Amino acid sequence: MISVEKLSASIGDKQILNNISFTVEPGECLLITGPNGSGKSTLLHTIMGRPDITATGSIKIRSGELIDIPCHERSQAGVFMAHQSPPAIDGINTMTLFKEIQKVQNVAGSTSELIKLTKSLFNWIGLPEGWEKRQFNNGASGGERKKNELTQAVYLQGKTQVLLLDEPDSGLEQSSRQKIIDLIQETKNRRGCVLLVTHDKELQELYSANKLDLSNA
């Protein structure tokens, strides 16, 4: 579960979120809605702990309070974010990143098992052959980057308590949408919770039972 209380957030001297409170129970998905600029992405980044966001209030997950700990510790505590526009990173190839993730997140398995697993994940999500050897997201299209995010989300789903999905569908073909639905379902089955930001009408409808509207926040 995740419990957010009186959360306010600003970037520089611009206040973006003001006094927001909500709780998502284990196995639930919360759809976050609101017009552009209402702070949907900022809310996810505030929970994730982006360093340039100043936040006050409380963000609690099963393992404790997050508000004062740095981003990488929140990640290690089980918060996963699929970014809306993930960057390309020169000097680090995709496989190296997976190895680093395996190390810091204490995921079991030998290197050869990891290579096998990630290759099959890339294949399943529809990323090109040899993807693991490429510099991370170098020359990748928007859609490929989104797929890369989903692959990592699936790789870490056993550890994830809180899954933050920031427009996971944009730029993806229709057939990939089902994979997002599967990922959400799998997270719910594992008693994790999901915070979803999306402009996709179908996904909005599917998860409309539990909504947080930021229009007036």
Partner 1 sequence: MNELEQEYTAGFTTNVESELTGRGLNESTVRLISAKNNEPDWLLEFRLDALAKLDIMTEPDWAELKYTRPDYDNIYYHSRPKKQFKSLDEVPQEILDDFEKLGIPLHERAKLAGVAVDAVFDSVSIGTTYKEKLAEEGIIFCSFNEAVQHHPELVKEYVGSVVPQGDNWFACINSAVFSDGSFVYIPEGKRCPLELSTYFRINSAGSGQFERTLIIADKDSYVSYLEGCTAPQRDENQLHAAVVELVALDRAEIKYSTVQNWYPGNEHGVGGVYNFVTKRAQCRGVQSRVSWTQVETGSAITWKYPSCILQGEGSIGEFYSVAVTKGHQQADTGTKMIHIGANSRSKIISKGISIGNSTMTYRGLVRMNPGAKNARNYTQCDSLMIGNNSRSNTVPYTDCRNDTAQIEHEATTGRVSDEELYYLATRGLDPESAASAIVNGFCRSVLNTLPLEFAAEANKLLSVTMEGSIG
Instruction: Provide the angle, in degrees to the nearest 10, between the axes of the packed helices 94-104 and 142-155.
Output: 30
Among 65, 68, 90, 213, binds partner 1 (CB under 8 A): 90
Residue 11 CB, nearest distance to partner 1 (Å)?
13
Residue 105 or 204 with smaller CB distance to partner 1: 105
Contacts of 170 (CB under 8 A, 6+ apart): 84, 142, 146, 199, 200
12 binds partner 1 (CB under 8 A): no
Q: In whole angstroms, give the CA distance from residue 114 to residue 193.
A: 26
| Contact between 39 and partner 1 per CB under 8 A | no
Residue nearer to partner 1 on the CB measure, 79 or 203: 79
Please identify, among the stretches 45-53, 56-64, 196-204, 207-215, the one whose residues bind partner 1 according to the rule CB under 8 A.
45-53
Place of tokens 């993730």: 101
Among candidates 162, 158, 180, which has minimal Cα distance to 171? Answer: 180
The interface mask with partner 1, positions 92-121, x = CB under 8 A, is xx--xx--xx--xx----------------
Query: Considering only 8-16, 77-85, 115-123, 171-179, which stretch makes contact with partner 1 by CB under 8 A?
Result: 77-85
Place of tokens 């179908």: 202
The residues in 57-76 that bind partner 1, with binding defined as CB under 8 A, are: 70-72, 75-76
Q: What is the DSSP letter of 84?
A: S
Decide if residue 47 touches partner 1 (CB under 8 A).
no
Output the smallest distance, CB 77 to partner 1, in A: 9
Q: Please tell me whether residue 152 binds partner 1 under the rule CB under 8 A.
A: yes
b or e along 90-113 (b: 16 or more beta carbons within 10 Å of the residue's beta carbon)?
eeebbbebbeebbeebeeeeeeee
